[in-house]
Each structure stands twice: as structure tokens, then as C-alpha cells.
């Protein structure tokens, strides 16, 4: 009787162990983008809506130690950094440079998302920037990075942005809405906005096209053939408590999560919506193939970042990103 009871207990323990292993294997992806066990991280991370946040949402879903804090607007971002509310923060690269040049205690850990700006239009005849002459096009943020990139591309293609076409400034949700109604014919949108407007247009019986991919237009510039433009990344908000080991553990998990995200667009949509309700699951899923989510350590792409901003500086005032390119201290190299 005792032997039978012991055997039953051993079988029960074995079953529990197998279940535990199976649940652990669901927690986070490995380097091949498959889901495996993960070291628990305890980090507060500032995030903004966009593809840079997709892997962070996945990590938060599978680690109770990941606390995501949504920021909207430069003032809130600055506040998070100066008060050290967060240990890490996602941000557009130009904002990161501007913040560093203001003297705030940050370093760029990685670039996560590369050029994802598209000219959206119902006009399937839009093939070149020259086709925009005489047209009205909407863009968000006068004097912002989208504006600077678009204007630079126009000028480098012999198009005067102030006289050869009409640039109207409006936020992306408004531009998206007016594209669907037909009140607007062209707009520069990033992800996931370009995917959102495409899906909303389909519901209204309207077909919208990604007429021009501005990343491909950038690659046509002399000397920029192999230069991607860095859109967003993650900065370290330096403090005395978080260690280099913790940052490197985060990097490993983020890289693995990104592979999983890129390989599982249908599954990541609901996870992102759960953690950042503004980003709807169907749009997140649709945006994956256009988002260029390709994380890379900042130290490995310093040359590319500098080449991009040097090119951009030909036509914009360097004050737009703090007056100068950042020095080597901007790129995280460990404590």
C-alpha cells in the first residue's frame, strides 16, 4: 500500500514538473523567435505608441517585473527622464539626441525601428516625389523629424517645398480621417497610422496605397544608398541602482521578443492592445510587415546614425536636434 502511494506521489510530482516546464516555455522567445523561459526583469520603462513598443508589450505580458509607463509629448518624456521615473525609455532618435544635448543623463542603448514613413494616397498613379508638384499633402509636426525628412527629400530632388506644392500640418489621426473621407488626397504617415488608415479606408470602401516609401526615396540620395534612417530606439536613464548586467539582460530579451513579434503578427496584436489600448490589435498585426522592427545596439550603428543626421543637416538647422551631433558618450557602452 505504501509503495503504491509513493508511486502515485512520484507520478504527481513528475506531472507538476512537466506542467511547470511547459508554462515556463511560454514566457518569452529565444534567439530563434520561439518561446522559452526568461530571467525575471524588474524595470520601469517609458513607452510611446508605435512599433518600438511591440516587443515591450510582449515582455510585459510575460514578466510581472516589466512596468510600462505611457508618455505622450516631449514634456512628459523629459519629466520621466529628469525625475528618473523610468530606467529605460523608448523615444524617437532625434528626441534622444536633443535630450542628450540638453545635458540630461541618458545614453542611447539601441535603435529599434528604422524608416517607416509612407506617403498614403488613394492615387495609385503616385510614383515619384515629382508627382506631388501642385498637390496638397498633410504631415504632422511642423519642424519635427517627419517634416525635416520630407522637406529634405523634396529639396534634394529639386522640389521647393514652399512653392512647388502645399504642405498642410495636422496630426496623424486627423490626416488619416480626411484621407478616408476624400477631403485629403496625400499624407505622410508612420506606423501604425498608415496601417490604421488603410484598414479604416477598407471599411469605408476606399482603397489607399503606400504610394511612396520614404526609406526607399532616402536610399536614392547620393552617399545614402546603404544608410537606413533611424526612427526610434531605447535610451538608458542612468541611475546608481540599475546595473549593466540588468541592461544587457533587457537587451537580450528585447532582441528575442522582436524576433517573435516579427514572426507572429497575428498573436502580438492582442497583446499590444492589452498593454497600450490606443493601438488596436488588427492595426498592430497589419503594421508588422511595414514597421522595420530591426533592433541593433547603438554602438554598432553609430556611423549610420551620424551619416543620416549629417545628410539631414544639409537643409535643416542643427538646432532641431540640439545644435550638434552627439559625442561618443551618447552611445551606451556599459557602466
* pLDDT tens-digit map of 43-67: 999 998 899 999 999 999 998 899 9
Tell me the average pLDDT of the chain: 88
With a pLDDT cut of 70, the percent of the chain lying above it is 88
Domains of the chain: 29-114+228-330 (3.40.190.10), 117-218 (3.40.190.10)
The pLDDT of residue 22 is 39
- The stretches in the chain having pLDDT less than 70 are 1-39, 335
Ramachandran bin of 323, using left for φ above 0, alpha for ψ from -120 to 50, beta for the remaining angles: left
Q: What is the pTM of this model?
A: 0.87
| Cα–Cα distance list, 62 to 65, 67, 93, 215, 255 (Å) | 9, 11, 27, 33, 15
* Residues 55/43, Cβ–Cβ less than 8 Å: no
Here the cell at position 107 is 545614453
The pLDDT of residue 4 is 47
The pLDDT of residue 231 is 95
Q: What is the pLDDT of residues 306-329, one digit of tens each?
A: 999 999 999 988 788 888 899 999
The pLDDT of residue 241 is 86
**Which residues neighbour 109 within 8 Å (Cβ) at sequence distance 6 or greater?**
88, 233, 234, 235, 236, 247, 251, 297, 298, 332
The pLDDT of residue 30 is 53
Amino acid at each position: 500500500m505504501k509503495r503504491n502511494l509513493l508511486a502515485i506521489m512520484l507520478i504527481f510530482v513528475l506531472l507538476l514538473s512537466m506542467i511547470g516546464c511547459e508554462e515556463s516555455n511560454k514566457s518569452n522567445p529565444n534567439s530563434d523567435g520561439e518561446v522559452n523561459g526568461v530571467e525575471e526583469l524588474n524595470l520601469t520603462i517609458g513607452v510611446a505608441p508605435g512599433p518600438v513598443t511591440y516587443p515591450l508589450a510582449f515582455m510585459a505580458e510575460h514578466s510581472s517585473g516589466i512596468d510600462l509607463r505611457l508618455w505622450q509629448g516631449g514634456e512628459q518624456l523629459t519629466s520621466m527622464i529628469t525625475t528618473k521615473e523610468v530606467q529605460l525609455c523608448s523615444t524617437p532618435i532625434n528626441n534622444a539626441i536633443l535630450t542628450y544635448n540638453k545635458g540630461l543623463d541618458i545614453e542611447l542603448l539601441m535603435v529599434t525601428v528604422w524608416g517607416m514613413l509612407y506617403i498614403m494616397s488613394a492615387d495609385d498613379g503616385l510614383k515619384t516625389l515629382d508627382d506631388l508638384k501642385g498637390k496638397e499633402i498633410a504631415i504632422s509636426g511642423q519642424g519635427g523629424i517627419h517634416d525635416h525628412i520630407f522637406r529634405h527629400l523634396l529639396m534634394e530632388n529639386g522640389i521647393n517645398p514652399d512653392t512647388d506644392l502645399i504642405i498642410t500640418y495636422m496630426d496623424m489621426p486627423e490626416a488619416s480621417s480626411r484621407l478616408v473621407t476624400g477631403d485629403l488626397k496625400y499624407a505622410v504617415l508612420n506606423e501604425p497610422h498608415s496601417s490604421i488608415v488603410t484598414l479604416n479606408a477598407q471599411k469605408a470602401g476606399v482603397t489607399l496605397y503606400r504610394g511612396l516609401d520614404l526609406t526607399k526615396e532616402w536610399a536614392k540620395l547620393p552617399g545614402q544608398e546603404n544608410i537606413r534612417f533611424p526612427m526610434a530606439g531605447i535610451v538608458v536613464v542612468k541611475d546608481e541602482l540599475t546595473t549593466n548586467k540588468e541592461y544587457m539582460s533587457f537587451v537580450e530579451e528585447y532582441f528575442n521578443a522582436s524576433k517573435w513579434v516579427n514572426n507572429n503578427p497575428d498573436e502580438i496584436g492582442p497583446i499590444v492592445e492589452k498593454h497600450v489600448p490606443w493601438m488596436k490589435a488588427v492595426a498592430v498585426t497589419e503594421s508588422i510587415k511595414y514597421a522595420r522592427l530591426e533592433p541593433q545596439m547603438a554602438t554598432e550603428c553609430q556611423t549610420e546614425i551620424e551619416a543620416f543626421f549629417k545628410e539631414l543637416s544639409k537643409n535643416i538647422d542643427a538646432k532641431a536636434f540640439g545644435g550638434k551631433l552627439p559625442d561618443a558618450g551618447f552611445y551606451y557602452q556599459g557602466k
